[in-house]
Amino acid sequence: MSGCMSGLNQDSSFVLSEGLQQLKSEHPPLLDRLEELLNLCVKIEEGMHIEENFNKLRPAVVEFLAELEPHSEREEGVLFEMMAAYIGREMGPIAVMEYEHDQAKRFIGTFLHNTKNGTEEMAKEQIIHNAQLIKDANYTLVSHFSKEESILFPMAENMLTEDEKQELAARIKII
């Protein structure tokens, strides 16, 4: 098992330091919001009150993004930076995590751009296409959070010094 990251968090008694635990504890509320967005998208795709559900989707996406952004900043601006000092950021886990952040934000940003004028000038197919963008963001983020919890956070716990873990906790509290 030497060198295999998949075995890092197999022990259910694995305990994360304060900062890493805070980042992990931010995932469940975000996942709940993602599920709400996904439910609206599925209703739209299935033709259930398309305009009504789509009109609920955009403000829900805006609210979700407002909750996601500080979490992303804590990860990208603090945790990823600290880990990159050890493992770099051009390839490997940090590169993957940053790519997935960018990909999810691109899906959401495209949706928000496309829907800034509501559904007035949109055909049914365009509405469904835009709901698919949020489904794609959902799938990206659900998978991303899982990778963070099973690979990245345990890796950081093993990699960072105690002083760095304290610094991480202090720095993410102010974001």
pLDDT, tens digit, 9 for 90 and up, residues 1-53: 333 444 444 444 568 999 999 999 999 999 999 999 999 999 999 999 999 99
- CATH assignment at residue 50: 1.20.120.520
In a domain, 10, yes or no: no
Q: Does any domain span residue 4?
A: no
Domain with 92 in it: 17-173
7 found inside a domain = no
Q: Residue by residue, what is the 3-state secondary structure of 50-92?
A: HHHHHHHHHHHHHHHHHHHHHHHHHHHHHHHHHHHHHHCCCCC
CA proximity to 44, closest of 30, 55, 60: 55
Residue 1 domain-assigned (yes or no):
no
SS3 call for 16 = coil
Please give the model's pTM, rounded to 2 decimal places. Answer: 0.87
Q: Is residue 12 part of a domain?
A: no
Residue 169 lies in a domain: yes
Q: What is the pLDDT of residue 4?
A: 40
- 81-115 tens-digit pLDDT: 999 999 998 888 999 999 999 999 999 999 999 99
Nearest to 108 by CA among 139, 152, 143: 139
DSSP annotation of 160: S
Tell me what pLDDT residue 89 has: 87
| Overall number of domains in the chain | 1
pLDDT at 58: 95
What's the confidence (pLDDT) of residue 5?
42
Report if residue 127 sits inside a domain: yes
